Amino acid sequence: MKKALFFTPVLALTLASCNPPGKPTLADKWKSPADVSGFTNLYAQNCLGCHGDGKSIAGSITLKNPLYLSIVSEDKLRSITAGGVPGHNMPALAIENGGSLSNEQIETIVKGLIAWRDVSKLPTAPIPPYSAPLGDVAAGKAAFSQSCASCHGNDGSGGPKAGSVVDKNYLNLVSDQYLRTVTIAGRPELGCPDFANRDPATPMTPASVANITAWLSSHRLNEFNQAPTSSPANK
């Protein structure tokens, strides 16, 4: 008994000097958004939850996609990060647009994304440009059945390997540019191949990318279940 009493203060001192499990360290201290710096931290806190990084998968396209990063310009990355995609679920993140990121933090993120570019991982087929006008709806339907139907179904409403890409609620969530982006870069992290790998023997041409984007977009419906006047279905 005496022995135990003697040892207690020594034990208490030893414990106080080390970090018991669960005790937060300085690094765990809450940081205001303005204090977060470094690309890895900024990306984890502001983008990862929606975009993933290829390893973690999220609702929207991973930005660590070498093909995507090879077609999108640095200016575009900057303007979308700062200003979002109006009318869609990509929020404007710059302080001046109601977000929480300073221009310096946005610059760190853009430079970090550019550093993820990896030309060694690009397909050898000619890569369609990031943006282009919508193509021809009827030609898009034919191209879709050739390049996409094996997974998404002939009418796009879902097939054996993937869900619908013509559901009106889905189409309300995404812009035409996003449909084009995925048609080119795919979502390899989910099993949607890129333009060059859907049928490696015949990579998709820029024209078929533009036509498929038009066909997908032609399925948009307004609140009255009609194609909006701007729809390529009305052209």
**Out of 182, 196, 210, 214, which residue is the one contacting ligand HEC (CB under 6 A)?**
182
223 contacts 158 by C-beta, under 8 angstroms: no
Contact 134, 232 (CB under 8 A): yes
- Give the separation between CA 187 and CA 151, rounded to whole angstroms: 13
Out of 64, 198, 219, 220, the only residue in the binding site for ligand HEC (CB under 6 A) is 198
Exposed e or buried b per residue across 164-174, where buried means at least 16 C-beta atoms within 10 angstroms of its C-beta: bbbeeeebeeb
* Binder of ligand HEC out of 52, 53, 60, 140 (CB under 6 A): 60
- Rule CB under 6 A: say whether 102 interacts with ligand HEC: no
Kindly tell me which residue out of 50, 95, 139, 227 binds ligand HEC, with binding defined by CB under 6 A. 50
> With binding defined as CB under 6 A, does residue 134 bind ligand HEC?
no
CA 172 to chain centroid: 17
For residues 84 and 77, give the distance between their C-alpha atoms in angstroms, rounded to a whole number: 10
70 near ligand HEC, judged by CB under 6 A: no
The alpha carbon of 66 is separated from its chain's Cα centroid by a whole number of angstroms, namely 12
The residue (of 7 and 168) whose beta carbon lies closer to ligand HEC is: 168
Which residues of 45-118 form beta strands (DSSP E)?
A: none
Distance, CA of 191 to CA of 145 (rounded, Å): 18
150 binds ligand HEC (CB under 6 A): yes
User: For ligand HEC, which stretch binds (CB under 6 A), given 8-16, 90-98, 134-142, 221-229?
Assistant: 90-98
179 sits near ligand HEC (criterion: CB under 6 A) = yes
User: Using the rule CB under 6 A, is 79 a contact of ligand HEC?
Assistant: no
How far apart CA 217 and CA 220 sit, in angstroms, is 6
190 is an interface residue for ligand HEC by CB under 6 A: yes
**Among 67, 69, 72, 171, which residue interacts with ligand HEC (rule: CB under 6 A)?**
72
CA distance 107 to 113: 10
Residues forming the site for ligand HEC (CB under 6 A): 46-47, 49-51, 60-61, 63, 72, 77, 80-81, 85, 88-91, 93, 109, 147-148, 150-152, 161-163, 165, 174-175, 177-179, 181-183, 187, 190-193, 198, 212
